Amino acid sequence: MSLALQDYPNPDCFDELIDDDGAPRPHARALFDHLDSFSETDIQERKAATEAEILSMGITFTVYCENEGSIDRAWPFDVIPRLIRAEEWRTVERGLKQRTRALNLFIDDVYHGQNIVRDGVFPRELLADSRNFRPECVGIDPPLGVWAHVCGTDLVKDKDGRFYVLEDNLRVPSGVSYMLENRLVMKRVLPELFESYAIAPVDDYPAQLRQCLASLAPVANPQIVVLTPGIYNSAYFEHAYLAQQMGAELVEGRDLVVGSDDRVYMRTIEGLHKVDVVYRRIDDLFLDPEAFHPESVLGVPGLMRAWKKGNVALANAPGAGVADDKVVYTYVPDIIRYYLNEEPILPNVPSYRCVDPEECRYVLDHLDQLVVKPANESGGYGMLIGPKASEEERAEFAERIRQDPRNYMAQPMLTLSTAPTLVDHRAEPRHLDLRPFILSGRDTYVTNGGLTRVALKKGSTVVNSSQGGGSKDTWIIDGKGA
């Protein structure tokens, strides 16, 4: 048989589709029965067809390089889907809704009464030092009281086969376009498989996003725009894609102007047109040179002014990133209990806060077993992976932690789950994570599944596309499959 599951290495972790005895899990049986019927040529053909589809559909991501400024690369995609049972997903979905509801209440509180600080649940000094706390946002009431409208929460499975929340991305999370395109590719390349499973569709995301954004405006048919930093941004493909799919206008900062009436307009060949909702994909600090970095040319002077007056809705709201902080993350279970009076449905990865002297001591004593993360970096920058670091690196990092304990948290090394991934002609286990997207407007919506990212290098746990990661289609399946 072509996929040679009997040779599938028994990984020392949880595998999504294969059990400890090397047999497909019940819900994956139909998938492997089907793949088994393929000859090696079949598999190679499907793989080639996938690559051709991806090229011709123009699914690219941008990598920075020296000569040309940037270059578009085809999106690395694996044809073996990742399957998640609907029963399991329904719990995750409830957990994600609970989490974003609490996070939104937290952000709103932080910019208003700060009750959570007053009640001693969240330390005041953490807010004072937070790099993503925006004093400019204090006292502002965004529409519906929602700050984080689009949230990308990273989930991982540990050895026990349970989902854990690794982090919440509330600034400008990306990847949703690849989730949508992955499904399209799968439908074209392996249509027969869709007969065997009842797979929850994903393609209503753009409509849901539009509805979420529209719910932020007081008018019936609001003018929505997607604000992009431009063609050199690594997620430009996604910005253009979402704008197109939503029927919104894709704009750059220079396309918008804030009038002396504190309203936002876009420059068209017919003059200025009022804009009601901005789905911004530019970081806070570049959003408005009047309010933040004065030298930034990406943003729109006066945008904050218009937002504060309630003349335009910004998604995500400026300042929402205050909850997108790896130290704040460690408080999310408490935040859920505090605002909702509920137990968290989805657990955090166990974490140590260096701001707590006792936990900090533990971290410093066990650096060789822990992953240490700075509060506000993203994309895996500035981390220490203890077990893989040298003695000097650990010593140097320990010094950094002592200098600025508030800026660090630590977690035990997780053993990320794996799933069979096509490598040459064989299925091999590769580590993966999952990024579902949660929309919060008048209603809350969670994507059916999300973007599964795969570390294509053997043994690697780095799933970022800029560092050799790829992706898989993620199927939420009802029943066991035929």
Partner 1 sequence: MAMLSRVAESLYWMSRYLERAENTARMINANANMMLDLPRDIRPSWDSLLTITGSEETFGTRYSSPNEGQVTRFLISDAGNPGSILSSLRAARENARSIRDILQREGWEHINELYLKAMARIPDSESPKRRFAYLDDIILSVQGIAGLIAGTMSHDEAYEFVRLGCDLERADMTTRILDVRWGDLSPDAKESLKPFENLLWMSVLKSMTAYHMYRRHCQTAVGRDSVVKFLMEDRLFPRSCHYCLRDMQDALNHLPQGNCVREKLSEATALVQDEEARRRTELRRFIDDLQVKLGEIHDALSGCYFDVEKMSPQQKQPACCNA
Contact residues for partner 1, defined by CB under 8 A: 58, 230-231, 240, 243-244, 249-252, 254-255, 257, 259-261, 263, 265-273
- Minimum distance from CB of 184 to partner 1 (Å)? 16
- CB-wise, 56 or 403, nearer to partner 1? 56
Closest CB 252 distance from partner 1, rounded Å: 7
Least distance between partner 1 and beta carbon 255 (Å):
5
Structure tokens at 354: 């260096």
**Residue 271 C-beta: closest distance to partner 1, Å:** 5
CA distance 178 to 184: 10
In the 8-state DSSP scheme, what is residue 10? -
Helices (H), 153-216: 176-189, 193-196, 205-214
Least Å distance, CB 215 to partner 1, is: 21
CA distance linking residue 328 with residue 306, whole number of Å: 29
Q: CB of 282: closest distance to partner 1 in angstroms?
A: 16
Tokens of 259: 């009038």
* Token output for 342: 């509920």
**Choice between 167 and 288, CB closer to partner 1:** 288
What long-range pairs does 433-436 form, CB within 8 A, spacing at least 24? 433/154, 433/155, 433/156, 433/166, 433/463, 434/82, 434/154, 434/155, 434/156, 434/163, 434/474, 435/152, 435/153, 435/154, 435/155, 435/169, 435/173, 435/175, 436/92, 436/93, 436/96, 436/152, 436/153, 436/155
For the CB of residue 209, give the shortest distance to partner 1 in the complex, in Å.
17
Which residues have C-beta within 8 Å of that of residue 399, sequence separation ≥ 6?
Answer: none
Of 224 and 432, nearer to partner 1 (C-beta) is 224
Q: Token pair for residue 40?
A: 């090696």
Report the distance separating Cα 53 and Cα 58, nearest Å.
Answer: 8
Give the separation between CA 332 and CA 103, rounded to whole angstroms: 8
Dihedral of alpha carbons 102, 103, 105, 106, sign: positive
Q: Which is nearer to partner 1, 306 or 322 (CB)?
A: 306
Q: Strand 264-268 vs strand 256-258: parallel, antiparallel, or unpaired?
A: antiparallel
Nearer to partner 1 among residue 256 and residue 355 (C-beta): 256
What gap in Å lies between CA 226 and CA 214, rounded to an integer? 13
What is the rounded CA–CA span in Å between residue 381 and residue 331? 22
Q: Least Å distance between CB 241 and partner 1?
A: 9
Minimum distance, C-beta of residue 298 to partner 1, in the bound complex (Å): 14
263 or 431: whose CB is closer to partner 1? Answer: 263
Query: Residues in the chain, how many?
Result: 482
When the beta carbons of 279 and 475 are compared against partner 1, the nearer one is 279
Give the nearest distance from C-beta 43 to partner 1 in angstroms.
29
Local structure of residue 192 (DSSP, 8 states): T
Q: Which is nearer to partner 1, 49 or 257 (CB)?
A: 257
Residue 64 or 194 with smaller CB distance to partner 1 = 64
Contact 385, 397 (CB under 8 A): no
Q: Per DSSP, what are the bridge partners of residue 156?
A: 164
Using the minimum distance from each CB to partner 1, give the nearer residue, 24 or 206: 206
Shortest distance, position 319 Cβ to partner 1, whole Å:
26
